Structure 1
Amino acid sequence: MSESPTGLVAMRVRWPCEAGGHARQETTFSYKELELQRLATTVIYGWLLNIVCIAGIFGNILSYIVMRSKEYRGSTTAIYLQVLMIVDSLYLLSNLCYYGIIIGCGVGKWIIDPFAAYIRIYVSYSLIDIFRNCSVLLTLVVTAERYICVCHSLKANKVCTPNKSKIISGITVTITVVYEIPRFFILKVISTSIDNCEGNFYTIDASGLVSDEVENVLGILGFVIFLALPLVMLTILTILLLMTIKKSNHFRKSMRSMTRSSAQTSSSGDKAKKANRKSENNTTVILLSVVITALICSLPNTIFTLLGFTAFRDIIIQTLPGSIAYYLAILLLNVNSAANVILFGFFGKKFRRVFARIFIKCYWGERNRKAYQIGSQTGITHTEHLMRENGCHEEGENSMEATESSPLR
């Protein structure tokens, strides 16, 4: 960072892109704009992103536990969602380490701290891209699986099986990792010494192991495979699924309008089919909420990635509003990975029921069991023990005494 004669501060900044590219741009800010830019970094990365990442990791863990329950056993969609929640949690953890702690909170500087420099290379430039791209492909795979189950139910029994779901999930993760391997060797940390200064000076530069042509090809392939093509296919599948759900709801309404006599003569098999169709539609609604959220949250980053192939991206990012917009685009990507538990809980009746059984009823059941054991040993009733534990026993006795002495009794 150097001061120019015009009172501006020239600051060299690397703007990492989710779909590739690590070119450095010269951004020129005035002192006031520089302070605002630092404030935006602290608020968006240091506060908001850290909260979103921590809450998202905790929510994904809870959702994973729910999806592993017996109620979801044998569900191929649940298998894909379990892998997706693991990948999203790793993505949030990587963003928390780099954007939240190192950039947002200012813990460590890659200029003087080699650990932060290596985090910048291997976490920001490699691991974040791996988990992000893997999350996109898994979302596309689970949407395609749900489309087959809903629109081609006869083929679903052969195509959509738990074993095949595990194999496809493993292949998806493997493809993403293999594609991202060259990115680990594009950059390197250089250590140099400065006269009259203690310690070493660390900079990040191209390693020379991967040529610029290979890096450009990887960037274009990454944009097509992990961004453009999935977004187009997700949009098409989402529209088809929404149309299918609309037809199913129309059919259900027509069934409800039937006469009472015909409804009474309906067999148990018809009722089972209706319940199964309703459960399938509910699962589809949950998945569509995940997909639509992903499309909305990925839109700003997609725009920045498209601008990266032109000169407009550099012009926009070199302005203060453009840099803040880029920070918000990164934040929205993390919101997408953290919103799973909210979407599952809001749209999924089955998820809420299983969640309550695991995390709420188990807590109260454990308290009731302990109260029964203590009561059997001390003679204290189950209700008295719970009232004492909640601090209400004394208040209950006082209210009983007041009732006994009341003239209205």
Structure 2
Amino acid sequence: MTGFTADLRRRVERAGGDYPPLYPAVILSASALVTAVSALQRHSADGALGWVIAGLVFALITLVLDLSLPPSSYACFGVITSTVCFLMVPVHTDAAPLQLVLMAAIGAAMYPLRTGLVVTAAAIGVLVVFGVFGGLESPALYALGVACGWLVGYMVLIQKRLADNRDRILRERADRAASDERRRIAREIHDVIAHSLSITMLNVTGARRALEQDRDVDEAVEALSDAERQGRQAMTEIRSIVHVLGAEENRKPTAPPPGAGDLGALLDDYRKAGVHISSRIDGDLAALPEPVSAALYRIAQESLANVVKHSEAKRASVSVAAGDPVTIVVSNPVTGSRPRRHDGTGIAGMTQRAALLGGHLETEHGRGTWTVRATLPARLDTCAPSPQRDGARL
């Protein structure tokens, strides 16, 4: 019994197309009820048996096809034919035309506009013919009911389209949010890995040279210790970033991301690794909003990682002004006159960070110097970029 019930439910759901199962269940039940009442009204009429059987057969065939095949307009014309059979035997206060009202509603709700109008016109045509030649009482009233049925069905169709459109918009928003989150995590992981590997490679190179050239074990051990510390720090940051992807509830709080207050430690790490950095920091970095503070740190981190990657001089200058707006300038000497190619994702990631906060970032190559200059807002109320500006930069 359970298997039969489940199979019947699946068939009813299929008969309703994209509508909830309640819609086809109500329509099929109402149609069966009207068919039964129409047959009972004619049980004692003279010569009615053949037409009643024909009406029931057409209605039953239509029901079986509804539950067996995908939705199609044949169902409407099958029921109209059944109604015609019943109308061949006129009775007082006939219920058979109510089938036409249901078919007009179904045609408007489930099929294209032209098909729905054709079904409605056919139903009204049947009523007119039997009102003139078949003795049907009040055909105009029944015709008005058919028109109202079409209107109700069309309103249901419009409501469904609006709901589908709303669902589509919500899915698109969810997809955009997921895409933005993936890009954010990719930027964070890229910045962490680029920074840690840059310093680690410098420390490992320094240790190798200390052992090969100076035979200075203590200096090599110190460089390797710094490399180990950077590796552990990178693993901790990556674990914190990836942790937000977990679905477990009641997760333990993770360490806050580094911000502008950590710039001094960042510069010291590069100095210990052998990069000569001159720096100037003006203003109160602690007063900056957290998003701006984090972006400032990441831009400095990525710019210095690029210095290690692209500059042979291993020398850079960093200037930060925590005013309104906040500015950061990182420059380093480069050899040759050709501008650097943007083959990686570092420049794009820094540009996106600045754009998402309502700021901007630009790079410049001239007179043997590569410069990264970023401008960020200093207040939270200016940290929301306009959609046009954000979309243009992303």
TM-score using structure 2 length: 0.29
RCO greater where, 1 or 2, for CA within 8 Å and sep 6 or more?
Answer: 1
Instruction: Say which structure is richer in helix.
Output: 1
Whose Rg is larger?
2
**What's the TM-score, normalizing by structure 1?**
0.28
